[in-house]
Amino acid sequence: MNFPSSIIYIIPILAVWSGFAFVWFTKPTNNDNIKLLLAFSGAFLLSLTFFELLPEVYDGHHPKIIALYILGGILMQVFLEFFSKGAEHGHMHFHLKENKFPILLFLSLCIHALIEGVPIHDNDSILYGIIIHKLPIAIILSIFLINSKMKMSATLLFIAVFSLMTPLGSFISTSPWVSDYGHLLTALSIGVFFHISTIILFESAQGHAFNLRKLIVIILGIGIAYLV
């Protein structure tokens, strides 16, 4: 299914605001279902990266250069997590001071979301992966922001700008002045996807204990990604 370009820009925004609205209206207290959704999203996004992005980015390009950019994406995400404390994969170990806007968390999440948008315009399947990844992250982020002592206006500003970053990344990647480097930017985003997906899969279970429900949703995520 080929989405119109306007839909490609709108859907990631709606995914973020849907997560925020879900938290605002339901006030969820059980995190187990959110963790399962997070595990599914990690498996789904990682599988789509293998099935769709990797073959495409290596096709006709120097393999070592592509590999360097993929590794660079992994290192970039590791660097961003020094400031976000792992919010990109559902870990909110961030402590806010009263009425203080979390600028480092904000910037790191925005950069992450910007990179996520790069491969969407060339691959509609990746749009599904980004949406399913964004929804649980937006829920966890919204729970954190709403429960903090930050002003609601600042919370809404955070969510609004964050929701725009992925479409902005998609828009920038289609610009003529970066089109010649699109495969390199895609390789960078692959590294980011690799890092966050594997962290989600291997650390979402408390104490790394065996979890049958988690295993089932991971297998389901891989299977659906294969069929997309």
CA angle 221, 227, 228 (to 5 degrees): 85
Residue 202 has pLDDT above 80, yes or no: no
The pLDDT assigned to 214 comes to: 86
| Full-model pTM | 0.87
Q: Is the pLDDT of residue 47 over 90?
A: yes
**Using CA atoms, how far apart are residues 225 and 189, in angstroms rounded to an integer?**
18
* All residues at 6 or more sequence positions from 151 whose CB lies less than 8 Å from its CB, including other chains: 99
Q: 5-26 and 152-173 are packed helices; what angle lies between their axes, rounded to 10 degrees?
A: 160
Provide, rounded to the nearest whole percent, the portion of the chain with pLDDT above 70.
87
At 95 the pLDDT is 60
Burial of 103 (0-12, 13-18, 19+ CB in 10 A): exposed
Query: Could you write out the DSSP letters of every residue in the chain?
Result: -PPPHHHHHHHHHHHHHHHHHHHHHH-----HHHHHHHHHHHHHHHHHIIIIIHHHHHTTS-HHHHHHHHHHHHHHHHHHHHHHTTGGGT-----PPTT---HHHHHHHHHHHHHHTTTGGG-HHHHHHHHHHHHHHHHHHHHHHHHSSS-HHHHHHHHHHHHHHHHHHHHHHTSTTTGGGHHHHHHHHHHHHHHHHHHHHHHSSGGG---HHHHHHHHHHHHHHHH-
Residue 175 pLDDT = 81
pLDDT at 9: 86
CA pair distance 80, 111, nearest whole angstrom: 8
pLDDT tens digits, 92-121: 655 666 567 788 889 999 999 999 998 886
- Name the more confident of 214 and 123: 214
Mean pLDDT of the residues in the chain: 85
pLDDT at residue 100, rounded to an integer? 74
Query: What integer pLDDT is reported at residue 99 of this predicted model?
Result: 62
Mean pLDDT, range 156-160, rounded to an integer: 95
> What would the mean pLDDT of 202-219 be, rounded to a whole number?
72
Confidence of residue 91 (pLDDT cuts 50, 70, 90): low
Q: For residue 191, what pLDDT is reported?
A: 96
Give yes or no for residue 166 having a pLDDT over 90.
yes
Top-confidence residue, 39 or 83: 39
The pLDDT score that the predictor gives to residue 84 is 78
Residue 126: the pLDDT is: 86
Among 39, 12, 18, which Cα is nearest to 139's? 18
Q: Using the predicted structure, report yes or no on whether residue 208 has a pLDDT greater than 70.
A: no
**pLDDT (0 to 100) of residue 228:** 80
**pLDDT per residue over 28-44, tens digit each?**
877 778 888 888 999 99
Q: What is the pLDDT of residue 93?
A: 57
Q: Say how far apart CA 178 and CA 176 lie, in whole Å.
A: 6
